[in-house]
Amino acid sequence: MGDHCGIHVDSPSHFILDGKTIEQVDVRQLTGRGVLIDMYHVTPAATFGGDSLLGKRA
């Protein structure tokens, strides 16, 4: 996942003809539950899989 994920929202009108503009989008549709995972032990260039995440929930 890149660092650009989740930092902005394109309104539906950006890609759907007659779609809602950003002012018409209910902000409650843009929120949800999240999980904080402690990944400080992983070096920046490392790759990891699902097994690396087990037990890492902060």
Could you tell me which residue, 12 or 45, shows the higher pLDDT?
Answer: 12
pLDDT at residue 54, rounded to an integer: 74
pLDDT at residue 25, rounded to an integer: 92
pLDDT digits (tens, 9 = 90+) for 11-39: 899 999 999 999 999 988 888 888 887 77
Q: Which of 56, 20, 21, 17 is nearest to 39 (CA)?
A: 56
Confidence of residue 1 (pLDDT cuts 50, 70, 90): low
Residues 6 or more apart whose Cβ sits within 8 Å of residue 12: 19, 20, 25
DSSP 8-state code for residue 57:
B
